[in-house]
Structure 1
Amino acid sequence: MYGAIEAGGTKFVCAVSDDSLNILECVSIPTTKPSETMKEVFAFFDKHPVDAIGIGSFGPIDINKNSKTYGYVTNTPKLAWKDYNFVGEMKKRYQVPIAWTTDVNAAAYGELRKGAAVGKDSCVYLTAGTGVGGGGVVNGQLLEGFGHPEMGHILVRQHPEDTYKGNCPSHGNCLEGLAAGPAIGDRMGKRAQHLAEDDPYWKIQAFYLAQAIVNYTLILSPEKIIFGGGVMKQKQLFPLIRESFKEQMNDYVPVPDLEDYIVPCALEDKAGVTGCLLLAEKELNK
């Protein structure tokens, strides 16, 4: 059996599966402070012993196995979790292999193996919701190095009709500061889901997301770009993003057909958990 923890900023989703990765049990736990949230995580896995666990966590996190703080949540704005030794606390309780990456990297891996990028060797997964985050898989391997990708914090050019200054506490008008759900609400005075489908603002939103994936395309040349997150439930965004991507890329490099290249996630809210289970299986079989 395999275990999964999708550790999000709002909730933790814990799941166990059989050896064929069929989910047998799944629970949602509020993300409060470690002493409260982890108590429930431990209670779940105490009841459901597993052979390996995959964890995809909100970040930033330390994924460098040569680091003294490998397995920690590091410089997170969720102050109760700052410098929390996540993997260390799990290993104290469960002597099983543990895979450790970001929640968006886990979602990218899930989409590659079981979702919108099945049959491909590479993809980028970008989520736009409470924040903006991205993960990637290149040649079948998670995109990681000294650290992990922070794709939501790339610097982007301001849309000429957008006077909003951005709300990222670290970077102001980075991608997340301009295009995450709270930035939309702050700018427009209402949440994204309450804007009309034909609101002119959506072209500005599409401009920022398209600009980001032009950058990812030029750097990583993935075979598929997949969008998830609450903001991306606005399906009218997809044709606008493709149109803006085409305009901004300006035929500089060849890309797949845009209808097949820029797509919504196929696993929807299960992408992260699915990726975590797959990573647990991979870790056990190393």
Structure 2
Amino acid sequence: MENVLLGALEAGGTKMVCATGFADGTVVESEQIPTTTPAETAAACAAWFQDKGIAALGIGAFGPTAVNPASPRYGQILKTPKPHWSDFDLLGALAGPLGIPCGYDTDVNVACLGEATFGCAQGLDTVLYLTIGTGVGAGVLSSGNLMHGMMHPEAGHVPMKPDPRDPIATDSSCPFHPSCLEGLISGAGIKKRWGKSGGEMADEPEAMDILAGYLGQALAIYILCYSPQKIIIGGGVADHTPIVELARPKAAEALNGYIVTPEMDDLEHYIVRNSLDGQQGIMGCLELARRALEQ
């Protein structure tokens, strides 16, 4: 298995990252392909992998998407605001032309898998990975398995207690929820309030305190519901602002001493930033490909 070349596809709403590598997480080569129409994008990705000699492909897709292999819609993008992508069979459009085993999951689940296999969560079996960028998504590894159910976690849409200082506290950027985490803390929410990116607002104390307050609320919910052994946070907004550090004491405040564990006594090493230099998604896809080949 060590010398078998594997494929990885991080399928995002704005770009597809195609890569090859090995089961130890080594990435050999990669290329970005713009996300346009479904048929055009899938064909371009399949063509990129066609002559690489990969034995299996791991796909981490933007959601919502059907991740249960028993579902008749397995591998399809579900209802999405991205034009033309709803109901598109992404897995089928790639597995068909390539004719190789394929593993399929969400982009945040594979990022979680990457950190658990190769990164700062090695040796742990219950981990939460949160990405805060254009949107907000959560991937959950529970007892060693990526969490699925009727679909997959959509923990970016948990409701938030509005901050009275917040001009969009009950009118967030989410078209479905007036005050969910994604609508309030994502890049779109930041843009709606202040007309700037998260990085451009990073030195504004009140803005960062508002965002960190929402993040702290959400982290408290995740700790109570998933009981993760580590929480890892990535994404453009998180990477370019101090909200991770600011949210740690706010999560503890929200829990109010209810959870008493060694992890809660060491929040600096419990709620952390991603550890794989932005490669956690691709590396997780390589692990997904390895598992698909073994099966």
TM-score tier after normalising by the smaller chain length:
over 0.9
Residue by residue over 1:246-279, the C-alpha shift from the partner in whole angstroms, topping out at 9 and shown as x without a partner, is: 1111111124010011100001321111100011
Match of 1:130 in 2: 134
SS at match of 2:30: strand
Residue by residue over 1:41-83, the C-alpha shift from the partner in whole angstroms, topping out at 9 and shown as x without a partner, is: 0121112121111100001101122222111011011122111
1:284 partner letter: L
Match of 1:247 in 2: 253
Asked if 2 retains the 8 angstrom alpha-carbon contact of 1:228 and 1:268, the reply is no
Q: Which of 249, 270, 273 is 2:282 aligned to? A: 273
Match of 1:208 in 2: 214
Provide the rounded CA distance (Å) in 2 between the counterparts of 1:243 and 1:265.
19
Which range is displaced more, 246-255 or 131-140? 246-255
- 1:196 Cα deviation (Å)? 4.3
Residue by residue over 1:15-37, the C-alpha shift from the partner in whole angstroms, topping out at 9 and shown as x without a partner, is: 11135432111011111112221
- 1:217 Cα deviation (Å)? 0.5
Q: Which of 220, 234, 243 is 2:240 aligned to? A: 234
1:47 and 2:56 equivalent?
Answer: no
Asked if 2 retains the 8 angstrom alpha-carbon contact of 1:206 and 1:237, the reply is yes
Q: Which of 11, 14, 17 is 1:7 aligned to? A: 11
Provide the rounded CA distance (Å) in 2 between the counterparts of 1:20 and 1:246.
36
Provide the rounded CA distance (Å) in 2 between the counterparts of 1:177 and 1:198.
20
Provide the rounded CA distance (Å) in 1 between the counterparts of 2:85 and 2:65.
10
Q: CA RMSD in A?
A: 1.3
- 1:160 Cα deviation (Å)? 2.8
Provide the rounded CA distance (Å) in 2 between the counterparts of 1:244 and 1:190.
24
2:32 partner letter: S
- 1:198 Cα deviation (Å)? 4.2
Asked if 2 retains the 8 angstrom alpha-carbon contact of 1:99 and 1:283, the reply is yes
Matched ranges for 1:1-286 at <5 A: 1-164=5-168, 165-255=171-261, 256=263, 257-286=266-295
Residue by residue over 1:197-219, the C-alpha shift from the partner in whole angstroms, topping out at 9 and shown as x without a partner, is: 24311011001111111111001
2:240 partner letter: Q
SS at match of 2:113: helix
- 1:178 Cα deviation (Å)? 0.7
SS at match of 1:137: strand
2:279 partner letter: K
- Which runs of structure 1 show a deviation greater than 3 angstroms over 4 or more consecutive aligned residues? 18-21
1:85 partner letter: D
Provide the rounded CA distance (Å) in 2 between the counterparts of 1:262 and 1:196.
19
% identity of equivalent residues: 42
SS at match of 1:272: helix
Asked if 1 retains the 8 angstrom alpha-carbon contact of 2:22 and 2:286, the reply is no
- 1:172 Cα deviation (Å)? 2.3
Provide the rounded CA distance (Å) in 2 between the counterparts of 1:67 and 1:123.
25
Gaps of 5+ in 1: none
